[in-house]
Structure 1
Amino acid sequence: MSWCCVVVSRFRIPTFRDVCVARRIVSRYLKPTPLVYSRKASRILGCDVYFKLENLQPVRAFKVRGGVYYMYRMREEAARRGVVTASTGNHAQSIAYAGSLFGVDVKIVMPHGVPQIKIEAVKDLGAEVIIHGSYFEESRMFAERLAEEKGYLFVHSINEPLLYEGVGSMHLEVLEELPDVDVVINPLGGGSGVASGCIVYKTVDPSIMVFAVQAEGAPAFYESWRRGELVDLGRVSTRAEGLAAGRAYELPFMILRERLNDVLLVSDAEMEGAVRFIFDAIRQVAELSGAASTAAAFKIRNLLEGKRVVLMVTGGNIDADSFASILKGGSVK
C-alpha cells in the first residue's frame, strides 16, 4: 500500500460540503470579519489588494473558527472528559474560548518562549496553561501523553478535520464578498488555514491561485511539498511563533499536495516590515505570522500585477512593546 493510501485511510479529508455545513454553526457564534480594500497597498503592489481581517476575531486570530466548530460537534464528550491540546498560542485561545462557550474544562500545553500576552489570554478564558517543551512538537507529545494518562479528549491542532471545516468559513466569506478573486495568500504554520482555503477555492474555481507562506526559519512544509514526502526538521528558528512548526503533518499535506500553487518563504525581517506596512495601509495590528501573507506579496508582486488579491491577516496577538518596536523600525525581542 502506498504512503498516500495509508494517509487517506487514517485521516478523513474535509470536503467543500463539510465547510458549508460548518459555516452554519460557526456563524451562530462568530460574526463575519471584514474584507477591506486598500488603495495604498493596491498602488504599491500593482494589483487590487484586499485584507481579510481575522485579527478582529474575539481571540484576535482565525483559529477560533475551528475551535468553536470542533467544540460544538464534540460538546458532550468534551464536557464529560475535559480537553487537552498543545499550541504556540492562537489555537490555544481558540480551544479555550470554545471551552468557555460550552462549559468544557480545557488544559493547554505551550512551549517555553510563547509571548506572555498569549499565555495570559488563554488564562483569561478560563483554561489551565501547562508550560512544557522548547517548541510545538515537544508540547504536542506531552499533551498526548496527558490525554492517555488522564483520559482527557486530545485535540490535535493540525490533524483534526473538524478544525479545517470551521476555519474554512473565512474563505467562504471571502468568496461571498469577492467572487471574482484571482489570488489568495495565506500563512502556513500547521496548515488548517491554507488547506481549508484550497478546499473552498479550488472546488469553486480551480483557476483561483492559492499560495502558502512559511517562515524561512521553519520551512518544514516547504521542504515536504518540494520533496513529495513529509519532512521533520526538528527545531525551528523564527520569532513568528504562529509559524514555528518543526515538521509537516499528514492531513494538510494530503490536502495541499495536489491543490496548492506554491509555497513561499519569508524572513522575520520581512514579516516585521509587513507588520509596519499593514498598520500604515489600513491601521490594523498584525502579529508576525499574521503579516506573512503581506510579506510574501512583495516577493511575487510581478505575478500579482493587475489581479484581485486577498491577503489573509490571520492574527493580531502581539504585545504592545513588540509592536511599538517594530513600528519604530526595530525587531521583536
Structure 2
Amino acid sequence: GNHGQSLAYAARAYGTQATVFVPEGANSLKVTAMRRLGAEVIHFGQDFDDCLMESKAYAGRNGALFIHSANEPLLVAGVATHTLEIMEEAPDVNAVFVAIGGGSGLCGACLAGKGINPGLEVVGVQSSGAPVVYESWTARSLLRKDECDTFAEGIATREAFAMPARILWDTVDDIMLVSDADLRRAMLTLLETTHVLAEGAGAAGLAGLYQRRDRYAGKKVAVIVSGGNLTLDGLADAMNKERAW
C-alpha cells in the first residue's frame, strides 16, 4: 500500500529498484501504483504476515536490505511529519485520530504531536476484525493472531511489532476498535461530504471519531486520512452494504 509505494518512489529516486511483496488478491490499484513507480511486485501468501516472512527470507537469499513496515525508526520519523504539519497548521488542536496497521503512523503521531504539545490526545483506531495491536496495548504484551477478518487490507495485520508496540505502551492515550460497517460508513461520509475518496484503512480515523463524537463535541480534532487506494468494486461494495452517516 502506502508503504510499498513510498519505498518504490524512494528507490527509483536513488537509482535502484524496490522489491515489494503483496498477498495474493492484493488491491489492484496499489499493485499498479507500485509498478508504475518502478517496483518489482511479488505476490505471496494470504495476508501481510505471510508477505513479511517471505520478504525477510528473500532479502536473506539475495543479500538485499530488508525494510520493515513498522519496526523502522526512520520510517516512524518520516510518517510523523503528518502530525508535525497538523501542529504547525493548527497548534490549538485537542486530539488526533489515527488508523492502526503496523503502528508506525500512530507512533509518529504520538512522538511528534506530544513532543510539541504534551497535552495532545492521540487516539488509535483499529478494525475489530484485526484487533491485535489493541489487545497487545491492553495486555502490555506482544501478541500474534492466527488470522484476521477485515476488508480493510491496509490495517489487516495479525501481529503486534516490538518497536511500535513499546512506543505506544508509553505514549498513546487510547486505542479503540471499530466495525467494518463503520469503516464503510466513514468511507462514504468522506466521499459525500468532502469529496475525499478513502479506502477502509484511510477512513478508520473518522470511524473512531464518529463513535466518540459526543466526547469531543466542541473540541478541535484532527483526523489523519491515509490511504486512497479504493477500487471501483470496493466503492460499489461499500455503497451496497452501508450508507453515509
TM (normalized to structure 2)?
0.95
Secondary structure class of the residue paired with 1:184? strand
Q: What does residue 180 of structure 1 align with?
A: 92
Q: What does residue 319 of structure 1 align with?
A: 231
Alignment equivalent of 1:216, drawn from 128, 143, 157: 128
Deviation (angstroms), 1:329: 4.6
After superposition, give the CA deviation of every residue in 1:97-130 in whole Å (9 maximum; x if it has no partner): 1112111121111112311111111111111111
Counterparts of 2:68 and 2:5, CA distance in 1: 14
Counterparts of 2:134 and 2:80, CA distance in 1: 22
Q: Summarize the alignment of residues 58-69 of structure 1 with structure 2, pairs less than 5 Å apart.
A: none
Counterparts of 1:320 and 1:309, CA distance in 2: 30
Alignment equivalent of 1:191, drawn from 88, 100, 103: 103
Q: What does residue 117 of structure 1 align with?
A: 29
Deviation (angstroms), 1:233: 1.0
Amino acid of the structure 2 residue aligned with 1:109:
F
Alignment equivalent of 1:168, drawn from 80, 83, 90: 80
Counterparts of 1:137 and 1:224, CA distance in 2: 16
Q: What does residue 128 of structure 1 align with?
A: 40
Deviation (angstroms), 1:193: 0.8
- Provide structure 2 residue ranges, at least 5 long, that are not aligned to the other structure: none
Amino acid of the structure 2 residue aligned with 1:310:
A
Deviation (angstroms), 1:301: 1.2
Q: Summarize the alignment of residues 44-193 of structure 1 with structure 2, pairs less than 5 Å apart.
A: 89-193=1-105
Counterparts of 1:239 and 1:258, CA distance in 2: 30
Counterparts of 1:330 and 1:186, CA distance in 2: 22
Higher RCO (C-alpha 8 Å, min separation 6): 1
Counterparts of 1:303 and 1:103, CA distance in 2: 49
Secondary structure class of the residue paired with 1:301? coil
Secondary structure class of the residue paired with 1:213? strand
Q: What does residue 280 of structure 1 align with?
A: 192
Q: What does residue 36 of structure 1 align with?
A: none
TM (normalized to structure 1)?
0.71
Counterparts of 1:180 and 1:280, CA distance in 2: 27
Amino acid of the structure 2 residue aligned with 1:225:
W
Quick check: 1:238 aligned with 2:140? no
Larger mean CA deviation between 322-331 and 175-184 belongs to 322-331
Q: What does residue 255 of structure 1 align with?
A: 167
Give structure 1 regions of 4+ aligned residues with deviation exceeding 3 angstroms. 327-331
Counterparts of 1:209 and 1:185, CA distance in 2: 9
Secondary structure class of the residue paired with 1:258? helix
Deviation (angstroms), 1:328: 5.1
Larger mean CA deviation between 133-142 and 237-246 belongs to 133-142
Q: What does residue 303 of structure 1 align with?
A: 215
Structure of higher CA gyration radius: 1
Give the length in aligned residue pairs.
243
Q: What does residue 177 of structure 2 align with?
A: 265
Counterparts of 2:238 and 2:148, CA distance in 1: 22
After superposition, give the CA deviation of every residue in 1:147-195 in whole Å (9 maximum; x if it has no partner): 1111011101110111011111111110111000001000000111110
After superposition, give the CA deviation of every residue in 1:225-267 in whole Å (9 maximum; x if it has no partner): 1011111012111000010110101111111112111111011
Secondary structure class of the residue paired with 2:224? strand
